[in-house]
Structure 1
Amino acid sequence: MRIALVSDCYLPRLGGIELQVHDLAVQLVRAGHAVTVFTTTDGSSAAGDVPVVRLPSLAGIPLPAAIDTLRHALDSFDVVHAHTSLFSPLSWQAARHAVAPIITMHSLPNASMPWPMAQIDRYIGPAKWTAVSGVVAERLRRSLPNGSVDVLHNGVDPDRWRQLRRPGHPLTIVSTMRLTRRKRPIALLRALARIREIVPAGTAVRAMVVGGGPQARAVAAEARGLGLMSWVDLPGRLTRFEIQQLYATADIYLAPAELESFGVAALEARCAGLPVIAMASGGVGEFIRHGVEGYLVDNDAQMAEAAAALLTSPALLSRMQDHNYTTDPAMTWGHVVARHVAAYRTQVSLSALPLASAS
Structure 2
Amino acid sequence: MKVALLSDCYLPRLGGIEVQVHDLAGWLRRAGHEVEVFTATPGRAGERHGAVELVDGVPVHHLALRLPGDLPVNPWAPPELRRRLLAGRFDVAHVHMGVVSPFARDAVDVALAAEVPTAVTWHCVLDAMERVLAVSGRVRRWAGRGVALSAVSRMAARPLQRLAPDARVTVLPNGIDVDRWRSSTAATVLGPQGHCGTDGAGGTGGAGGAGGADVAGGEPVRFVTAMRLARRKRAVPLARVARRVDDLVGDENNWGIEVFGEGPQRGLVQAYLRTHGLTDRVLLRGRVSRDELLESYQGATAYVSPTVLEAFGIAALEARAAGLPVVGRRGSGVEEFVEDGVTGLLAGGDRELAAHLATLVLDPGARHRLRQASRATPPTQSWPTVVGMVEAEYARAGRLARRRRT
Q: Could you say which residue in structure 2 is the equivalent of 1:241?
A: 291
SS at 2:223 equivalent: strand
Aligned to 1:135: 155
Write the distance in 2 (CA, Å) between the matches of 1:354 and 1:272.
44
Q: 1:296 aligns with which of 339, 346, 370?
A: 346
Match 2:137 to one of 97, 105, 119:
119
Give the residue type in structure 2 aligned to 1:62.
N
**Offset at residue 123 of structure 1 (A):** 6.5
Kindly tell me: are residues 154 and 112 of structure 1, through their superposed partners in 2, closer, same or farther at Cα, counting changes over 3 Å?
closer
Q: 2:245, 2:357 within 8 Å by CA — same for their partners in 1?
A: yes
Would you say the 8 A contact 1:56–1:63 is kept in 2? no
Match of 2:57 among 49, 69, 72: 49
Judge which range, 154-163 or 48-57, deviates more: 48-57
Whether 2:76 is the aligned partner of 1:68: answer no
Contact 2:146 2:400 in 1 (8 A): no
Question: In 2, distance between residues paired with 1:108 and 1:165?
Answer: 34
1:2 counterpart residue number? 2
Q: Deviations over 1:204-231 (max 9, x none)?
A: 2121111112222222222222221123
Distance (Å, rounded) in 1 between the aligned partners of 2:370 and 2:10: 34
How big is the shift at 1:345? Answer: 2.0
Q: 2:78 & 2:130 partners in 1: Cα distance?
A: 29
Distance 1:354 1:144, change over 3 A: closer
1:43, 1:217 → 2: CA distance? 30
Q: Give SS of 1:207's match.
A: strand
Q: For residues 14 and 292 of structure 1, do their structure 2 counterparts lie closer, same or farther at Cα, with a shift above 3 Å needed? A: same
CA distance in structure 2 between the aligned counterparts of 1:36 and 1:225, rounded to whole angstroms: 50
Indicate if the aligned counterparts of 1:183 and 1:257 stay in contact, CA closer than 8 A.
Answer: yes
| 2:388 aligns with one of 335, 338, 345 | 338
Give secondary structure in 1 for the equivalent of 2:323: coil
The 8 Å contact of residues 147 and 400 in structure 2, kept in 1 or not, is answered as no
| Cα deviation, residue 51, structure 1 | 2.1
Q: CA deviation at 1:111?
A: 6.2
1:123 and 1:72 map into 2 onto residues whose CA distance is 23
- Alignment partner of 1:159 out of 175, 179, 189: 179
What does 1:204-353 correspond to in 2, within 5 Å?
204-352=254-402
Residue 106, structure 1, aligned to residue 126, structure 2 = no
Preserved contact between residue 147 and residue 401 of structure 2 (Cα < 8 Å): no
Q: Distance in 1 between matches of 2:295 and 2:377?
A: 20
Superimposed CA distance per residue, residues 266-289 of structure 1 (whole angstroms, 9 cap, x where no aligned partner) = 111111111111110211111111
Distance in 2 between residues matched to 1:50 and 1:254, nearest whole Å: 35
**Which 10-residue stretch deviates more, 257-266 or 315-324?**
315-324
> Residues 25-44 of structure 1 correspond to what in structure 2 (within 5 A)?
25-44=25-44
**How many residues of Structure 1 are paired with residues of Structure 2 in the alignment?**
355
Identity, % of aligned positions: 40
What SS does structure 2 have at the residue aligned with 1:181?
coil
1:112: how far off?
A: 9.1
1:155-184 per-residue CA deviation (whole Å, 9 max, x = no partner) reads 122221121215243311111111221110
- CA–CA distance in 1 between the matches of 2:340 and 2:6? 35
Q: Secondary structure at the match of 1:150?
A: strand
- Structure 1 residue aligned with 2:106: 93
1:176 equivalent in structure 2: 226
2:216 equivalent in structure 1: none
The alpha-carbon distance between structure 1 residues 329 and 29, as it changes in their structure 2 partners (threshold 3 A), is same
1:113: Cα distance to partner?
Answer: 6.4
Q: CA deviation at 1:19?
A: 1.4
Change (3 A) 1:113 1:139: closer
Residue 2 of structure 1 deviates from its aligned partner by 0.7
2:323–2:378 contact (8 Å) kept in structure 1: no
- CA distance in structure 2 between the partners assigned to 1:5 and 1:212 by the alignment: 28
Q: Shift in Å at residue 352 of structure 1?
A: 4.8
Distance 1:159 1:136, change over 3 A: same
Which one-letter code corresponds to 2:386 in the other structure?
V
Contact 1:15/1:178 (<8 A) preserved = no
Correspondence for 2:49 = none
Q: 1:104 to 1:354 in 2, by over 3 A?
A: closer
